[in-house]
Amino acid sequence: MTSDPKRLAMALIGHPPDSLALIEQALTHRSAGPVNNERLEFLGDALLGFVIAEVLLQRFPEASEGDLTRRRATLVNREALAKIARALNLGDYLRLDSGALRSGGHARDSVLSDALEALIGAIYLDQGFARAKQMILEVFAESLADVANQEARKDPKTRLQEWLQARRRTLPEYEVTAVTGEQHAQRFEVRCRLPDDGRECLGDGSSRRRAEQQSAETMLALLTETN
């Protein structure tokens, strides 16, 4: 271990841990001995999955179970956890045997992701659930923001479709109701209609696609205002 685990704990929780031994165990790979981070990893994995699931449920109230599951999988996987572990320089704190060190074990995704989960478990046992949750939200803040930005970049037709699918409703129908203007400067009017309740919204644009997107955006605004 090349760096002081106490310093790492202070960076994550703001003060020295009550049990430095727990933090050291979380940073100990199984190659280094029988007292290692495997059991803490098991606990941290469960805590991380729960906290991320709760956050996604709150931040995406319109998302279906499938959408939430996909977002959680994006946030909680070996590569994503290893990226966060590297940002924390976790590899500098790991304890491995000489063979694992020579083979670059401290830089492997699997070792780093396991250590991060173990560290979450250790902080939970040392500081309680509230502090462990706060730590998770802090180190995952950038990743959670990326997921939210990906959602914001979805076009209106996609967002409307997902909104309806989440409520097991029929998908919308789009129909061109008018085309005006010269060939080089045409304007399209498109009707977005919900077959299950008959509601309609119109959209206008310089192409059929843009008119469809505008009508979908208007329909989505209408639905979210009245539900």
Residues 6+ apart with CB under 8 A from 215: 174, 190, 191, 192, 201, 202, 203
151 is known as an active-site residue: no
Q: Determine whether the annotation assigns residue 225 to a binding site.
A: no
Spatial distance between the Cα atoms of 218 and 215, rounded to a whole number of angstroms: 5
List the catalytic residue out of 18, 38, 45, 173: 45
Catalytic annotation present for 45: yes
Beta-sheet pairing, 173-180 with 200-205 = unpaired
Q: Which of 117, 126, 162, 217 is catalytic?
A: 117
Residue 117 annotated in ligand binding: yes
Q: Is 41 annotated as a binding residue?
A: yes
Residue 174 bridge partners (DSSP): 192
> Rounded to the nearest 5 degrees, what angle is found at the Cα of 120, between the Cα atoms of 129 and 47?
60
- Report how far residue 116's alpha carbon sits from residue 23's, in angstroms, rounded to the nearest whole number: 11
Contacts of 208 (CB under 8 A, 6+ apart): 176, 188, 190
Q: Which residues are catalytic?
A: 45, 117
Annotated binding-site members: 41, 114, 117
Annotated binding-site members for Mg(2+): 41, 114, 117
